[in-house]
Amino acid sequence: MMRLHDNAASPFCRKVRVVLIETGQVDAVEIVPAVGHALETGQMPLAENPLGKIPVLTRPEGPALYDSRVICRYLDARAGARLYPESRLWEVLTLEATADGIMDAAVLMVYEARCRPEGERSPAWVDAQWDKIARALDAIEARWMTQLAGPLTMAQIALGCALGYLDFRHGTRDWRQGRASLSDWEAGFSSRPAMAQTAPAP
């Protein structure tokens, strides 16, 4: 059986759990809780991922896989689910990378408050991370909405998890303001059973 080192609050781990549900592979994976960050790696799967990050997927037939994009691509191939359609492969991969960049910036904002002493925190640095997020959301609203229509892809899953994390950790910043199309899409996508089942608890 495969084992997924996972944290319910992580948007990257959520991506993997959504893929497991959408591709019918939940019963093939044991969930192993992991907690930590760069300054506190005690419970992280360092033997499996020397970078000390999650998610990590261990599997009987080969070495552990890490980075959510690698794991999701592997699970998609294993199930033959076609979340990366050949006809739109580069667009799907680019939009997934954009969503992952949103998650990266949003997580760094959390770590700035959680990991640095109060006197060492930089509000300007936090705002710069949010600027990255805002630019990415504006770009999606302006030119990527057509990629969010049609059959389920990994781009949709990644973006749904990214937007869910913004609501979870940065709700007061109101990412929906001025982005009506993206807001409408998220309202519909978040109602999918796989998204509802994996939503982080407030």
CA gap 177, 102 in Å, rounded: 16
Strands 62-66 and 2-6: unpaired
What does the pLDDT read at residue 41?
A: 65
pLDDT above 80 (res 59): yes
pLDDT above 80 (res 196): yes
Please give the domain boundaries of the chain with CATH numbers for all domains: 2-79 (3.40.30.10), 86-192 (1.20.1050.10)
User: Inter-axis angle of helices 123-143 and 180-189, to 10 degrees?
Assistant: 90
Please report which confidence band the pLDDT of residue 39 belongs to, taking 50, 70 and 90 as the band edges: low
CA gap 128, 133 in Å, rounded: 9
- pLDDT, one tens digit per residue, over 124-180 is 999 999 999 999 999 999 999 999 999 999 999 999 999 999 999 999 999 999 999
User: Inter-axis angle of helices 89-115 and 11-22, to 10 degrees?
Assistant: 140
Show Cβ contacts of residue 142 under 8 Å, excluding neighbours closer than 6 positions.
none
User: Which helix (DSSP H) or strand (DSSP E) does residue 185 occupy?
Assistant: helix 180-189
Radius of gyration of the CA atoms of the chain, in A? 17
What does the pLDDT read at residue 145?
A: 97
Give CA 98 to chain center in angstroms: 10
- pTM, two decimals, is 0.95
CA gap 157, 152 in Å, rounded: 8
